């Protein structure tokens, strides 16, 4: 597995992985209309370009010659890194890649002299259990209005790196 900083030419593969990952992840949670709305809102080329060129750092995950995942992180303040996105091609789940990505993000956070990682995750997303296993705790419940009558019903989770070591 190789993790590298995303460049603008990675936008089509990021969008392709999002398309593959979102339905298995959210079909039981969101309507198809909300899924389409959110994919367009969050993954249109201009939004991704602005994020890649801005304060949000995108990374892609390569296995051999194939890109199989991506994640995005941001230094939001002096203490926290925000994990905005982490998605893998569904065929690559349950292979230990998520654990390795979280370790990479932990190291990146410490290199950026931040003490914790925060993220938002849908309350009904199976990733909640993954993040709990990785040491995150739920610190808040949050309902975000994202327009068109849709909301995101999320947990805010945090991983404090002050006293933690690498993931076993």
Task: Give residue-wise pLDDT tens across range 26-50.
Answer: 888 999 999 999 999 999 999 999 9
pTM: 0.90
Residue 72: helix, strand or coil by DSSP?
Answer: strand
User: Looking at the domain assignment, is residue 125 inside a domain?
Assistant: yes
In this predicted structure, the answer to whether residue 61 has a pLDDT above a threshold of 70 is: yes
User: Looking at the domain assignment, is residue 101 inside a domain?
Assistant: yes
The pairs formed by 52-55 with CB atoms below 8 angstroms and a separation of 24 or more are: 52/6, 52/7, 52/8, 52/10, 52/11, 53/8
Instruction: For the sheet with 80-88, list strands across it.
Output: 2-5, 57-63, 66-75, 80-88, 116-122, 150-160, 137-147
* 51 confidence band (pLDDT: 50, 70, 90): very high
User: Residue 101, Cβ neighbours under 10 Å: how many?
Assistant: 21
26 versus 162: which is more confidently predicted? Answer: 26
Domains contained in the chain, number: 1
In this predicted structure, the answer to whether residue 162 has a pLDDT above a threshold of 90 is: no
For the segment 84-140, what is each residue's pLDDT rounded down to a tens digit? Answer: 999 999 998 888 999 999 999 999 999 999 999 999 999 999 999 999 999 999 999
- Percentage of residues of the chain with pLDDT beyond 90: 86
User: Looking at the domain assignment, is residue 121 inside a domain?
Assistant: yes
User: Looking at the domain assignment, is residue 56 inside a domain?
Assistant: yes
User: Looking at the domain assignment, is residue 166 inside a domain?
Assistant: no
User: Looking at the domain assignment, is residue 54 inside a domain?
Assistant: yes
User: Looking at the domain assignment, is residue 148 inside a domain?
Assistant: yes
Residue 106 sits in a domain whose CATH number is: 3.40.630.30
Asked whether 160 and 117 are in contact (CB, 8 A), the reply is no
User: Average of pLDDT values for 148-160?
Assistant: 94
């Amino acid at each position: 597995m190789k993790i590298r900083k995303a460049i603008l030419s990675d936008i089509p593969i990021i969008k392709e992985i999002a398309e593959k990952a979102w339905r298995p992840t959210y079909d039981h949670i969101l309507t198809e209309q909300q899924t389409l709305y959110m994919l367009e809102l969050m993954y249109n080329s201009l939004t991704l370009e602005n994020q890649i060129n801005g304060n949000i750092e995108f990374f892609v995950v390569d296995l051999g010659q194939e890109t199989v995942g991506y994640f995005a992180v941001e230094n939001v303040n002096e203490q926290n890194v925000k994990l905005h996105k982490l998605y893998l091609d569904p065929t690559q789940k349950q292979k230990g890649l998520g654990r390795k990505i979280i370790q990479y993000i932990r190291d990146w956070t410490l290199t950026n002299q931040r003490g914790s990682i925060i993220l938002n995750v849908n309350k009904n997303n199976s990733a909640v259990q993954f993040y709990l296993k990785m040491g995150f705790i739920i610190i808040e419940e949050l309902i975000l209005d994202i327009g068109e009558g849709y909301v995101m019903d999320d947990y805010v989770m945090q991983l404090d790196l002050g006293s933690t070591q690498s993931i076993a």
